[in-house]
Amino acid sequence: VTFDEAVDGVDTTDFTVTSTAGGNTTTYPHTISEVGSGNTTWDVTSNDSNLASLDNTVTLALVSSHGITDKVGIALTASLAGDTTFVLDNTAPTLTSIARHSPARQYAGEDTLTWRLTFSEAMTLPAASAFTASPSADTTALTVTRAVGDNATQVDVTASGGNLATLDGETVTLGFADSHGIIDAAGNGLSSTTPTSTPNEPAYTMDNTVPTLTVSGVPVRTTSAITATFTFSETVTGFTADDVTVSGLTKGTFTNTTAGTVWTMVLPYPGDVAAGDAYSVTVAADAAQDRGGNNTAQQVASGWYTTDSTAPTVSAARGSGSSSPTNADTITW
């Protein structure tokens, strides 16, 4: 406590140290000691044992009947200004949840993985060394950032590099260092690294295999309707009729015949084509994605029309000069 000039009459009775909860005020004992010898500065200290478990605001106040005067006897009339409060926080923070954030799905084909951690209260930004990603050989870097702006209750932990881009089927798991040093704004250490609520998603399953697509049922030549079949090597999502472009044809019924892997599209035979007119069926790149977010490549199937609808025939004839019956050891048709 600092006065702007030398004063007299300062003692413990001039101040109170209190907290208020539920309409009840608690007063804490305190001591006062002068700093230096200029009669301008004093330390007011409260070391009550109850403060060690208190979660509340503690306020220092100057009593109205203080009796403090300057050296010529003029009474202090000003109120106490400045930093008159301490916010006491003696409750250890808890980890509320661990969520897969980017990507948000369990299966990942990305080479950067981000988890979002939510705590019960505002936290000091942890160091990257507070966390681990296992297997450690599969990542080269961990970074820790605030999740959104100044939101001190959430942090994002990102793993990147290493073998992430080539892993397939392996699990990458976020963990905590034994001496993680994670603390809240008051310095209380994290009480447990087990989330108290959901989600609890510390692991990604890596999937870096790109799904393949086979387009079948599109003949090189046709005189009738076509049923194109689109077969993916694994379950995909996002594939629709809009992803199929046809030229020289019209789109008909589009059906998912095997959930997530096989679709068919009927392509009616147009009535105004000439022999040699071309047609094609194209599936755009990135038309579908597997569970790891891997996109498919473009696929094209094509052919042309013919107006010859007569089925071919076949016959055989004996070679020149050949007769039957014969005793020759070589016969030719």
H or E stretch covering 116 = strand 112-119
Q: Which residue has the tokens 């089925």?
A: 311
What's the DSSP call for residue 52?
A: G
Average pLDDT in the chain: 91
**Mean pLDDT of the region 276-298:** 93
Proportion of the chain above pLDDT 90, given as a percent? 74
Q: Give one word for 292, left, alpha or beta, with left for phi > 0 and alpha for psi -120 to 50.
A: alpha
Do 230 and 209 touch, CB atoms closer than 8 A? Answer: no
How high is the pLDDT of residue 225?
86
The answer, yes or no, to whether residue 138 has pLDDT greater than 70, is no
Its pTM surpasses 0.85:
no
- Which pLDDT belongs to residue 306? 67
On the 0-12 / 13-18 / 19+ scale of CB atoms within 10 A, 265 is: buried
Q: Give yes or no for residue 321 having a pLDDT over 90.
A: no
pLDDT band at 139 (very low <50, low <70, confident <90, very high): low
Tens-digit pLDDT profile for residues 53-111: 999 999 999 999 999 999 999 999 999 999 999 999 999 999 999 999 999 999 999 98
Q: What Å distances lie between residue 41 and 33, 185, 197, 213, 323, CA to CA?
A: 9, 29, 49, 81, 134
Does the pLDDT value for residue 3 go beyond 60? Answer: yes
